[in-house]
């Protein structure tokens, strides 16, 4: 079934949340975060919705009186946060029901919405052999363009690690990198270390299906690699499934170790989890977002 975006009621629940970087990132455009540069400007920049805890001195009382809605003024002494949404477009992401790719797109839409509403610059990037130039999206109105971009992507590539290496060496501002992937590339831990060396704050959303974590298989089977097309004949005995579980856990351990080395946040996600559940029950407690 085709991916149809995210329900409006889900987005409404996410209005109050913001990305919470651990350090300041100097971007080229000013936004809604305190700038690491010295100097103060009082030049008006834009409006945004009021959220609990905001400084009431910046509340626009005229708008509140006319529309009964609370808006804050933002000024140009503040700095935007670059938020890089990296979508794994490997063919293996097409597995599962719903597919891991659809789960990743739903999460990317919700996280992109949080960034856009919060005044951040959102850079959607497809991790694909033909890695295209990424352009930032800004402002709530750009959410439609983000959804259109996500709808146009397809899981038909391979070589995830190489794509991530190319992104790491691209001339892009450092910021918050959200990697949405099933991580099924044995060279990915090395690519993560390269990414960490570029001064990004990395959030690794490891999306796996329940069938991959606990396969319920038996008998003679032909396994086909979704990315290379190679076939392997196996007999799904208890010992074979145990060896599969051992190798899968070893790979997950390697990814978690690479994340610890670069100070990244690792979050395991099931393809069946609603995106708002991942954000509210996993990313919020881990400090990736605040609200």
- Give 234-267 pLDDT, tens digit per residue: 566 667 777 878 888 999 999 999 999 999 999 9
What pLDDT, on the 0 to 100 scale, is given for residue 222? Answer: 47
Prediction pTM value = 0.79
**Separation between Cα atoms, residue 266 and residue 203, nearest integer Å:** 6
- pLDDT surpassing 70 at residue 29: no
**Separation between Cα atoms, residue 243 and residue 76, nearest integer Å:** 57
Sequence ranges of the chain with CATH classification 3.40.50.410: 8-14+80-290
Residue 268 belongs to what H/E stretch?
strand 265-270
> SS3 breakdown of the chain: % helix, strand, coil, rounded to 5?
35, 25, 40
- pLDDT surpassing 60 at residue 86: yes
In the beta sheet, which residues pair with residue 203?
178, 265
**Separation between Cα atoms, residue 54 and residue 31, nearest integer Å:** 15
- Within its chain, how far is the Cα of 213 from the centroid? 21
**Separation between Cα atoms, residue 284 and residue 291, nearest integer Å:** 8
- Check: CB of residue 245 under 8 Å from CB of residue 251: no
What pLDDT, on the 0 to 100 scale, is given for residue 39? Answer: 36
Q: What is the DSSP letter of 261?
A: H
Of 138-147, 195-204, 209-218, 263-272, give the lowest mean pLDDT range: 209-218
What pLDDT, on the 0 to 100 scale, is given for residue 237? Answer: 67
Q: Who contacts 23 (Cβ-Cβ below 8 Å, separation ≥6)?
A: 201
Residue pLDDT, tens place only, 125-178: 999 887 777 789 999 999 999 999 999 999 988 889 999 999 999 988 999 999
Q: Say which CATH topology domain 8-14+80-290 has.
A: Rossmann fold (3.40.50)
Q: What is the DSSP letter of 59?
A: B
């Amino acid at each position: 079934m085709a991916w149809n975006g995210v329900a409006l009621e889900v987005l409404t629940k996410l209005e109050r949340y913001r990305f919470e970087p651990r350090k300041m990132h100097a971007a080229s455009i000013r936004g809604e975060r305190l700038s690491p540069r010295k100097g103060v400007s009082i030049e008006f920049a834009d409006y945004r919705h009021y959220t609990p805890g905001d400084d009431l001195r910046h509340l626009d009382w005229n708008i509140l009186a006319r529309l009964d809605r609370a808006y804050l003024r933002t000024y140009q002494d503040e700095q935007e946060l670059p938020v890089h949404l990296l979508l794994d477009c490997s063919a293996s992401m097409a597995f599962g029901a719903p597919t891991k790719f659809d789960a990743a797109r739903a999460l990317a839409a919700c996280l992109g919405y949080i960034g856009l509403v919060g005044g951040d610059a959102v850079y959607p990037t497809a991790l694909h052999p033909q890695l295209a130039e990424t352009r930032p999206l800004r402002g709530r109105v750009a959410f439609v363009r983000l959804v259109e971009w996500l709808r146009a992507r397809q899981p038909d590539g391979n070589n995830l690690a190489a794509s991530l290496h190319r992104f790491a060496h691209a001339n892009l501002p450092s910021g918050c990198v959200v990697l949405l992937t099933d991580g099924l590339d044995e060279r990915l831990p090395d690519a993560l270390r390269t990414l960490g060396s570029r001064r990004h704050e990395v959030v690794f959303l490891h999306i796996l299906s329940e069938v991959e974590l606990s396969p319920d298989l038996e008998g003679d089977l032909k396994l086909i690699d979704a990315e290379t097309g190679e076939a392997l004949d196996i007999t799904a005995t208890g010992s074979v499934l145990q060896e599969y579980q051992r190798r899968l856990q070893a790979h997950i351990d390697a990814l978690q170790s690479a994340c610890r080395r670069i100070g990244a946040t690792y979050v395991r996600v099931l393809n069946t989890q609603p995106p708002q559940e991942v954000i509210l029950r996993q990313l919020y407690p881990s400090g990736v977002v605040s609200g």
